[in-house]
Amino acid sequence: MSVRRLAEASVQPASFAFNRANAAAAKQWIKKYPKGREQSAIIPLLMIAQEQEGWVTKAAIETISDMLGMPRIRGLEVATFYTQYQLNPVGTRAHIQVCGTTPCMLRGSEALMDVCRSKIHHDQFHANDKGTLSWEEVECLGACVNAPMVMIFKDTFEDLTPERLAEIIDLYDAGKGASVEPGPQNGRTGSEPASGLTTLKSEKAILKSTREREAREAAKAARAAPDAIIAAPVPGPAAAPVAPSNT
């Protein structure tokens, strides 16, 4: 288990408040939970605070805990448990999370970390001189078939080479991160085979196959219908009513 602590007091802001748009978003999240369960909104509200400030401050944890009517220690427990919450200041333009789990490691994640060390800082969680970039190694980011990969804020960049990651870092540092298309960086779509499709290549062929199968099933059902009618028992004539007895 790793120990996660809040940033030093010297870098903590004195207060926190949601801006107008995020305050409205926070209220909408709170409304999604039943009465008496509003504290469940702590996770999305902390994430909104991080998106606004770049990291989760002590003041944000306390303010959100107070909003939800929960003890501040409970808010602190949530913030320190989930590693997606950054408890220290990170790069203002990009915080790069490099997956180091086995598939990515085997596919070259160490080389990606070397790029981060050379272009950002030798050590994790340390920003570059301008304070615009930082990085860390993380566990599985969930796209093992597209290894190696990194995550920058909410976007993932997959099928990376050291050269491509260096280009992406430069673009973010120049304030042009929005120009980088998330997802695979080698031209493939999603998690399709890197060498190209081998089956189900044509949507037309797939639809044709489906229609042919449905037609065969319908024909089979139609052929079986007359047999079912013939095999059904035919009810006999109704019995004549019995005359009442005079005795």
Q: Quick: pLDDT tens for 153-194.
A: 889 999 999 999 999 999 999 999 999 999 999 998 888 887
Is there a single domain that holds both residue 67 and residue 102? no
Is there a single domain that holds both residue 118 and residue 58? no
Is there a single domain that holds both residue 46 and residue 98? no
For 66-92, the pLDDT digits (tens) are 999 999 999 999 999 998 899 999 999
**Looking at the domain assignment, is residue 88 inside a domain?**
no
**Looking at the domain assignment, is residue 173 inside a domain?**
yes
Structural domain of 102: 94-184
From 26, 58, 81, the end of a domain falls on 81
Provide the domain count of the chain: 2
CATH number at residue 115: 3.40.30.10
**Looking at the domain assignment, is residue 111 inside a domain?**
yes
Q: pLDDT value at position 216?
A: 85
Say how many C-beta atoms besides its own lie within 10 A of residue 173's C-beta. Answer: 18
- Out of 24-28, 36-40, 184-188, 213-217, pick the least confident: 213-217
Is there a single domain that holds both residue 134 and residue 72? no
**Looking at the domain assignment, is residue 247 inside a domain?**
no
From 33, 48, 81, the end of a domain falls on 81
From 130, 149, 184, the end of a domain falls on 184
Is there a single domain that holds both residue 69 and residue 100? no
CATH number at residue 16: 1.10.10
**Looking at the domain assignment, is residue 36 inside a domain?**
yes
Residue 152 forms beta bridges with which residues? 96, 155
Rounded to 5 degrees, what are φ and ψ at 27?
A: -65, -40
For 104-132, the pLDDT digits (tens) are 999 999 999 999 999 999 999 999 999 99
Give the residue from 195, 198, 164 showing the smallest Cα distance to 181.
164
Say what the alpha-carbon torsion angle 153, 114, 103, 85 is, to the nearest 10 degrees.
-30
**Looking at the domain assignment, is residue 35 inside a domain?**
yes
User: How far apart, in whole angstroms, are the C-alpha atoms of residue 148 and residue 109?
Assistant: 6
**Looking at the domain assignment, is residue 228 inside a domain?**
no
Is there a single domain that holds both residue 109 and residue 168? yes
Provide the whole-model pTM. 0.73
